Amino acid sequence: MTTRRTLLHSAIGGLALAGTGLAGRLAQAALPQGTLDSQRLESLPGKQPLLKRSYRPPNYESPPAAFAQDITPNDQFFVRWHLMNIPQVDAREWRLSIGGDAASNAVEFTLEQLRGEFEPVEVVAVCQCAGNRRGLSEPHVPGVQWGNGAVGNARWRGVRLRDLLARAGLARDAVEIAFAGGDLPALEATPQFVKSIPTWKAVDENTLVAYEMNGAPLPHWNGYPARLVVPGWAATYWTKQVSSIQALGRPLSGFWMSTAYRIPKGKYPLIDRFVSQESDASMPVTEILVNSMITSHSDGQRCAAGRPVVVAGLAWDGGSGIREVEVSIDEGRSWRSAELAPSLGRYSFRGWRYAFTPHARGPQGVMARASSLQGSTQTMELIFNASGYHNNVAQRVALQVV
């Protein structure tokens, strides 16, 4: 019998496979049983039902239905917070302060000023938690046990961060730009969530302080009234309810920079470097690795022998753009190019589709992998790290031909 738990397991865990060879290696990736036992579809105010991963802080994953199109609907967009207390912000009272030791003066803006005094800019960009698919790590690692849904794509509208920094008189020797958001810890000993990005990334024309998402004000759960948007980089830098921006003449220290969101140095094919935060052994998570997912089918889904099957999905990377998506229907022995949908921009999801006709009844594996314009391709086996970051293993779905 197909229960809701079985359905969620197959759609979100997605990779509990049997077999040998390549399929056997991919079979190791499955959500922990405890995660499956505790997950449930729940509605936050203003959201359609999402998959609950934790209550405090609120962490909710987008269900498979959210990825039926290139743009993720606001009410199905995943929710990720680090600290427990998420204030309800009155936009009339909200202020964004900008200063720091690498700025010549301190300035402050209201939301109305952001909307009225600066050129509005839009960018379509993927927001992806660095720990997306952490729950599929093998061996399993601690942290929020995300499946495939801690990612979404939206049309963000706001103000270029560099325009705001110019008002504060950004110094030429500014090393990093730091951000503080609205979420607060339950205990005084818990460090406030403060992140920084290198100045070169902060002044990029696509880095925004956004106040709209898909043509509407930001949802409360996604950072209302304003958040940082850092296209191509992991969502840990996309500070929600941003209230303070500081230009720094030296690297930011603290738990969220020096300890959290770090990976072994030199282990991943990263182009964007955050050199001021690197150590001899580790470096911070930066750009999103090339990735894809199959959105049209889930494990166990039936299809008819002798009739065409159209497999579809989404692909994305850190901003170079998607060059190709390939599909295999013979356990990786051969690959064929999928048809790519029109591009919405280099930071966006890119849709793809592939049609084939199965003839033999029984199990039918379908695998997909994406390649970026910079030359990176999804891995076939997990590159492990102890925090579960950067899982971009090619996905496999097991269909049942009848």
Task: Give the C-alpha separation, 243 to 161, whole Å.
Answer: 13
Beta 395-401 vs 302-303: how paired, if at all? parallel
Task: Give the C-alpha separation, 257 to 122, whole Å.
Answer: 28
Give the model's pLDDT for residue 20: 35
What secondary structure does DSSP assign to 331-391, as a single string?
TTS--EEPEEPPPS-TTS-EEEEEEE---S-EEEEEEEEEEETTS-B-BSS----TT----
Do the domains spanning 96-127+150-284 and 291-401 agree at the CATH topology level? no
Give the model's pLDDT for residue 1: 35
Give the model's pLDDT for residue 33: 72
Report domain extents, the chain: 4-80, 96-127+150-284, 291-401
CATH topology of domain 96-127+150-284: Sulfite Oxidase; Chain A, domain 2 (3.90.420)
CATH topology of domain 291-401: Immunoglobulin-like (2.60.40)
Give the model's pLDDT for residue 37: 67
Q: 88-108: buried (b, 16+ CB within 10 Å) or exposed (e) per residue? A: ebeeeebebebbbebbeeebe
Q: Which residues of the chain carry a pLDDT beneath 50?
A: 1-28
Element (H, E) at 180: strand 176-180
Gyration radius of the chain over CA positions: 21
Give the model's pLDDT for residue 29: 61
pLDDT digits (tens, 9 = 90+) for 365-394: 999 999 999 999 999 999 999 999 999 999
Give the model's pLDDT for residue 31: 82
pLDDT digits (tens, 9 = 90+) for 267-310: 998 899 999 999 999 999 999 999 999 999 999 999 999 999 99
Give the model's pLDDT for residue 142: 94
Give the model's pLDDT for residue 34: 65
pTM exceeding the 0.85 threshold for the entire prediction:
yes
